[in-house]
């Protein structure tokens, strides 16, 4: 019923995370309806991201330079290294503005069921970085999931015997949340990681 180009656009939108067939159709009709310059601005933004943005050669954060802003910032504490799964985790941890150390982005987590092994992540580069750096602390900030914990454990084993102290993020009830509504994993972590009052 639809032209080949429209069908193709719907198919491409439908591949995006969180976009079902109906939303994909809505987006495609939106593109058809808007002015040509607006639609081409979207195409151009996608092209620009793919052509200009790549991984920082040191920490694998996203950047348009060889090294990302954090790695280039002389004010960052070079004795602390925080290990995260994805660039979006780094952005989340930067929000409070309380951490001033460096990062290492793994670009995923070890997930045997999805066929993702340690060699597909940036773990080798991390180990080299830690061995060659002046870090005093390596903070494991992988997600508190089975796979995130497994990845953190794997890395801590690899780093055992190197000088930096290895820590992990404290866990527990989000401040402002109510115990009753916390899920059981969060509660279990909160109990296990309890601190002296
Ligand atoms: Zn960097």
- pLDDT tens digits for 129-172? 999 889 999 999 998 888 999 999 999 999 988 888 898 887 76
Q: Give the Å distances, CA to CA, from 140 to 4, 87, 148.
A: 48, 15, 9
pLDDT at 195 over 70: no
Please give the structure tokens belonging to residue 85: 């799964």
Instruction: Give distance in angstroms: CA of 67 to centre of ligand 1.
Output: 5
User: Shortest CA distance to 129 belongs to which of 163, 98, 152, 99?
Assistant: 163
Question: What confidence tens digit (pLDDT) does each residue in 24-79 have?
Answer: 999 999 999 999 999 999 999 999 999 999 999 999 999 999 999 999 999 999 99
Report the DSSP pairing between strands 77-84 and 62-63: unpaired
Separation of 56 CA from ligand 1 center, angstroms? 5
Cα 77 to Cα 89: distance, rounded to the nearest angstrom: 19
Distance (Å) from CA 44 to ligand 1 centroid: 26
Q: Which pLDDT score is estimated for 37?
A: 96
Whether the pLDDT of residue 175 is over 70: the answer is: no
Asked whether the beta carbons of 188 and 116 are under 8 A apart, the reply is no
The DSSP string of 44-79 is HHHHHHHHH-EE-TTT--EESSSS-HHHH-TTSEEE
Q: Specify the pTM.
A: 0.79
């Amino acid at each position: 019923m639809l032209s080949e180009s429209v069908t193709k656009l719907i198919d491409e939108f439908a591949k995006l995370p969180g976009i079902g067939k109906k939303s994909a159709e809505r987006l495609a009709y939106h593109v058809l309806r808007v002015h040509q310059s607006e639609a081409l601005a979207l195409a151009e933004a996608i092209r620009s991201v793919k052509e200009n943005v790549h991984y920082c050669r040191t920490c694998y954060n996203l950047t348009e330079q060889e090294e990302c802003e954090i790695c280039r910032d002389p004010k960052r504490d070079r004795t602390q290294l925080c290990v995260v799964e994805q660039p979006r985790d780094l952005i989340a941890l930067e929000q409070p503005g309380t951490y001033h150390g460096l990062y290492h982005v793994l670009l995923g987590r070890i997930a045997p069921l999805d066929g993702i092994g340690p060699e597909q992540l940036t773990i080798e580069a991390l180990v080299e970085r830690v061995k060659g750096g002046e870090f005093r602390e390596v903070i494991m900030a992988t997600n508190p999931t089975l796979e995130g914990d497994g990845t953190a454990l794997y890395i801590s084993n690899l780093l055992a015997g190197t000088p930096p102290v290895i820590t992990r993020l404290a866990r527990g009830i989000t401040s402002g949340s109510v115990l009753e509504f916390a899920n059981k994993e969060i509660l279990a972590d909160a109990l296990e990681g309890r601190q002296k009052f």
